[in-house]
Amino acid sequence: MPENKKKPNPVDMHVGSRVRLRRTMLGMSQEKLGESLGITFQQIQKYEKGANRVGASRLQRIAEVLSVPVAYFFDGLSGTGEAQSGLSEAGGGEYVADFMSSNEGLQLSRAFARIADPRVRRRLIELVRALGDRDDPEPPTR
């Protein structure tokens, strides 16, 4: 008999990935977030994977703990629950969340957030784009 595994709802997956993104940006562990909410880190894992749906009151409390408005968790979704353009590539949203959860992504985002001058931030973005668009087939040397 085939196993009947229900696929997570795309909206629940998106909300969970935004919880994970914000939590990692703050350098907060799943355990610490769970403690703040009075639940286990396993429950946080299930929320972040979209396996369990986050209720409205719990989402409000998560927003308070992570210091963001509730709407933050829905950024990037259209009215149909689909990701809006910009992350429309296959796996695009997962790639961003994975990068932002990596050590390099966290270091980069934290350092970038400390740059007060918007002109410097724009120039830095231009530099990163230029480096990413290079047609150099050689890997960078150290």
Question: Domain map of the chain by residue range?
Answer: 1-101, 103-134
Is residue 48 within 8 Å of 16, Cβ to Cβ? yes
How many CB atoms sit inside 10 A of residue 115's CB?
12
Can you read off the two tokens belonging to residue 32? 């610490």
Place of tokens 């992350």: 87
Residue 35 has what pLDDT? 97
* Interatomic CA distance for residues 28 and 16, integer angstroms: 15
pLDDT in tens, the chain (142 residues): 555 567 889 999 999 989 998 898 888 999 999 999 999 999 999 999 999 999 999 999 999 999 999 999 998 886 655 555 444 444 455 566 677 767 788 788 888 888 889 899 899 989 988 888 876 656 555 5
Is residue 14 within 8 Å of 21, Cβ to Cβ? no
Domain 1-101 indexed as CATH 1.10.10.10: no
Is residue 54 within 8 Å of 10, Cβ to Cβ? no
